[in-house]
Structure formats: C-alpha cells, structure tokens
Chain A
C-alpha cells in the first residue's frame, strides 16, 4: 500500500507536468489550428536557457529561472509565432506540421551544438527530503512539483474563465470571425495564446529537468507524452488535457512498477491508439464538426 501511494503521488507529479505541456498544446490547436510537433523540444529548451544564464551571466538559480522564463516567452512564443507560424499558416495545416517538425530538429541540434550533448544536472527546486503520508515516504520534490503545477493550471483556468481577456480568448478559439465582428483583436489573442503556451512549457521545463536532467533528446519522450495526454483527454478541451496528463503520468508509473519496465512506454501508446479508434474526440472532448 505504501509503495502504491508513493507511485501514485510521483505519477501525479509527472502527470501534472505532462498536463501543463498538453494544455499548451491544445491551446495552440484551439486558437490557430497549429499542431505543434516541436512541443517536446519546447519543454527541453527552456532548461538550457536557465543553465546558460547561470553559467554565462553568473546568476543565482531563481533569477536565472525568471530570465529563462522571459526568454522562453519571447523566443518560443513571440518569435515562433511571428517568424515560423505566421508565414505558413495560410498554406494550411500540413506545411505547418512539417515546419514544426523541422523546428524541433533545429532546437534539438541547437541545444546539442551550442550547449552540450551530455545530460546536464539541473538544480532541484527544494532540497531532497521525504515526508510521510499514510505511512508512505513521499519526496517533497514531488509535492512541490504537484503544487506548482496545480497553481499554474488554476491560474490559467481563472484567466480563461474569470477574466474578460480570457473570455475574449475563448471567443477567438470558438469562432474567430464572430469574435472579430464583436471587436475582439483576434490576432493579439492568438499571439497571447502562443505566449501562454511558451510560459507553460518553460514552467514544465523547470519542474521536470531536475528529475530527467537537461538533455537535448528529452523532447522526444516529452512531446509524445504531451500528444498522448492531449488526445486521450480531448483535443479541444483544456480540462481534457489536464485529465489526460494526470492519467498518463499515473499509468506510466504504475505500468513500469507492476507490468514491465521494458515496455513502460507501450501501455500509454495502446491507450492512445484505443482512444483514437473508439473515441477520437477524447475522453472529455466534444465531437468536432469541421467543414472539409
């Protein structure tokens, strides 16, 4: 039982990070039909911004993390939208998919060439310690990760549902033409979702890098996790992506412990295939009616 609780909490912690990434992924899809195949690399790269700020600017961890967050929002949000997405969006979904695949290659190689091909240790947010919950020793790290992820998602939910700005963003996602007629600056709203996505992946990066170490190949597994979480939960729902992420984190952890460590990656893939085949709109999603 104790090990079950341990696995559950560490699974939820990883799942919460997946959820952050998946939420960003669905936001981009909802507002601009961008399927970002570079989302995994988006999580990999901010850790290197932080490490580079510490190494070359001599900053402490928290100032470096803040600077890393700002750089991420500018590069992965503003510049990504303006330089890569804008010129291609008019050509349709497929060229943009290809371009984000190329961009993921670019980010991966850039991290490898300009920083290091070796896995880099990343400072933990809190000192390693355990607390006991229901007789199970749980790493404080997991609890902190879970806490920050919940705060972030909660803040985002408040922004989207509780503020005028968030409602304008939702209107943009639902029907850009009507939103424009109602006087919502649609372009600015779309740009804003790109910057929010960049902020989410940067937070995810800072949370996950102490566990996985910062390495240029990290994006592959993280990207896959984000896709699976987004699709399992429902492509067109922020709620869905959160549930999808948490389910994925727990399933991943449990299957590694109880089924097979070699095939730990396989169960989520089977779930993904099953969901796509039998419930393509996702567990929580609405069926999408789009014109051809």
Chain B
C-alpha cells in the first residue's frame, strides 16, 4: 500500500472516531472508550511480544497497578496528571526490576515467571485491605478536570482517552522507526545475528518490556476513572490472557494489530450479547482457527490478501498486450 492510501485510511478512521460519539448513545461511547484504553494496553504488550518476541502474561498486573495508583492517589489530593504519570513510571520501574532477572530465561519460561507475577500481584490486591480495599475494591473514582474542562460526561472522557491513545500511538510509531525500534525488530527476527551486529540484546529486550509495562500502567490509569470502580478480580490472569489474545488476533508485530485486536475483543461481546455466554466459545474457536491458518493474525491475513491482489494485477498487466 502506498503512503498516500495509508494516510487517507488513517484520516477516515480519525474522522469516524471523532464523529462517532455524536451519534452514539452513552453506552456506545463507554464501549468506544474501553476500546481506546485496551488498545493502549495491547500497544504496550505488542512492543514486548511483537517487536521483542517475548511472551509476557504480566500486562494485567501493570494495568492493575496503574489503575490502583490513580484510584488511591486521587482522594489524597494528588492532581490526576501527576497520579497518572506516577502509575506509568511505577510500572516502568517494576517492569525493569521484574524483567532484569526474568529475561535471563526466555520464551515459555518468561511466560511462566510473568504468570506467577500476575497471580502474586492479584493476591496483594485482594489481601492488603488497608491499601486496596481488598475484595470491596475502590469506588467513586473521579474523572479529571483540566483547566476548567470537566471530563465527567461520557463524550468528554472519551475525547480525553482518544487523545491519550493518539499520543501513545504516535510515541510507539516514532519509537519503532527510531534506531531503537529497528534494534527491537532485529532482535525478534534473529537474536543471534542482532547480537553479532553489536545490539545489546538484553538491554533492548529489557527496555521493550519496561516501556510495554509502562503503557499497561497508563492504560490502567485511564481505566480507573472510566469505570469509576475497581476491584482485584478485574486484574487477574484472565485479563492478561485477554490482552495477549488481542495482540495475537490483531497481528503481533504489526503496528495496527493491537487496535484491531482490541476492537474485536471489546466489540464482539457487545455484538453477540444476545447469545449470552456463547460469544466466548465463538471467540475461542476463532482464535484456534486463526492460529491454524494464519498465525500472524488478522493483519497478517490483510497483508496476504494485499500481496495476492498485487500479484494478480501484475499478472493481468502482463497478459494485456
């Protein structure tokens, strides 16, 4: 696809995202805001998984840590932007500390270490009642006010999350095009060769993991004021698996993958609400079929279709006299 076509598609999507809240009901706007929040979390995991090639099941913990930071600092009088930043930075640091020893072991071992981490963090959320309110959670989380602009109403908060999504997307887009990002990709494609070319494999993997964790924390920081009530079960292993599936279904390693994956994961339950619990069965089957036929996810499918189309046009051009 040409740059121009890409820009046109991007412009249309942006227009739709800005226009939609004017025609949707409040619940629809809530779902759309949820998509934006989940996209940020998936964007972060895509850095770890898609670009650095490491399976992490810790994203739910970082999401939870960000959410609890915002929820608990708010009532203490800390302004939202500071609490939000604190959540992200805390996750960056925890990601660094966890990743430093954990990245000695890779692949499935890392998956198990991060799985253990998620379960431990869940236990802390549930048991440390003095801090997190235990199973009763934290309720009445306020939405922020910026210079007189209150985001209490659904459309206002949606525009705020959309703005943050745009900001983080731009940051990630810039990052994977920087020499840094190229090193990530080199790492995923061929770690041995990357190492021989002088890429400090371990430092870059660690950096990808920590930045991905920070994005998880930022997503959580937006989630707390969006739902206004948080409790430990929301940040259990299920969420980690869900975010992982978003990245894979969308297409790990594709820039647009997490957005698409989050869209499916957030919208599918809404569309298939009439079927009650069966949508999860359908979703599970979809993932299994996708893995069997196109393990690179939906974006991989799009890419394949694009290539096939190109080949066909070339063929017909060649045939024409």
Please report A residues at the B interface, Cβ cutoff 8 Å: 35, 84, 87-88, 91-99, 101-103, 105-106, 109-110, 112-113, 220, 224, 227-228, 231, 262-263, 265-266, 269-270, 272-273, 276-277, 280, 292
Which residues in B have their C-beta under 8 angstroms from that of A110? 281
Assess whether A272 is in contact with B116, with CB atoms less than 8 Å apart.
Answer: yes
Q: Flag whether B199 is at the interface (Cβ < 8 A).
A: no
Q: Flag whether B304 is at the interface (Cβ < 8 A).
A: no
Assess whether B192 is in contact with A292, with CB atoms less than 8 Å apart.
Answer: yes
Given known contacts A88-B292, A109-B277, what 9 new A-B pairs fall within 8 Å (CB)?
Answer: A35-B108, A93-B107, A94-B55, A97-B108, A98-B291, A110-B281, A113-B278, A231-B109, A273-B117
CB distance from A25 to the nearest CB of B (A): 12
Assess whether A276 is in contact with B281, with CB atoms less than 8 Å apart.
Answer: no
Q: Flag whether B127 is at the interface (Cβ < 8 A).
A: yes
Which residues in A have their C-beta under 8 angstroms from that of B120? 266, 269-270
Tell me which of A35, A98, A106, A269 contacts B244 (CB under 8 A).
Answer: A98
Write the chain A residue with the least CB distance to B127: A262
CB distance from A89 to the nearest CB of B (A): 10
Mask for B86-123, Cβ within 8 A of A = 1, else 0?
00000000000000011011011101110111011001
Tell me which of B109, B277, B291 contacts A276 (CB under 8 A).
Answer: B109
Please report B residues at the A interface, Cβ cutoff 8 Å: 55, 101-102, 104-105, 107-109, 111-113, 115-117, 119-120, 123, 126-127, 191-192, 237, 241, 244-245, 248, 276-278, 280-281, 283-285, 287-288, 291-293, 295
Assess whether A112 is in contact with B287, with CB atoms less than 8 Å apart.
Answer: no
Assess whether A109 is in contact with B284, with CB atoms less than 8 Å apart.
Answer: yes
CB distance from A279 to the nearest CB of B (A): 11
Q: A292 and B191 in contact (CB under 8 A), knowing A110-B281, A262-B127? A: yes
Assess whether A269 is in contact with B284, with CB atoms less than 8 Å apart.
Answer: no
Assess whether B291 is in contact with A99, with CB atoms less than 8 Å apart.
Answer: yes
- Name 30 A/B residue pairs within 8 A (Cβ), A-sorted: A35-B108, A91-B295, A92-B295, A93-B107, A96-B291, A97-B108, A98-B245, A98-B248, A99-B287, A99-B288, A99-B292, A101-B244, A102-B285, A102-B288, A103-B284, A106-B281, A109-B284, A113-B277, A113-B278, A220-B237, A224-B115, A227-B115, A228-B116, A266-B120, A273-B116, A277-B105, A277-B113, A280-B105, A280-B109, A292-B192
